[in-house]
Amino acid sequence: MSTGLMQLGKNGVTDGFIETLKNRFKKYENMKIPILKGAGHERERAKEYAEKILDKLGKNYTARVIGFTIVVKKWRKPVR
């Protein structure tokens, strides 16, 4: 099980961020996404980012928020 790393910066969840994330999932099963201070260091903000990422990625993904890190996992079949 391989895990990649990608940082979420002050621009937040953009289309470019999602495209890069999708490309990384071709190589990794899981992605750890630390939220940098410039993106807003509040717990509610982290949950909003996780929801936004899942909305844009689709049904084959799940996410957990651990502190200020979002862990996204790709499944073979849709989860929802």
Domain ranges of the chain: 3-74
The pLDDT of residue 23: 94
The pLDDT of residue 79: 67
The pLDDT of residue 77: 74
The pLDDT of residue 1: 64
Tell whether pTM > 0.85.
Answer: yes
d(CA 54, CA 35): 16
Q: In what order do the strands lie in the sheet with 69-74?
A: 3-5, 30-34, 69-74, 61-66
Which residues, given as ranges, of the chain have pLDDT below 50? none
| Spatial contact of 51 and 61, defined as CB atoms under 8 Å apart | no
Q: Which fold has domain 3-74?
A: Translation Initiation Factor IF3 (3.30.110)
The pLDDT of residue 20: 95
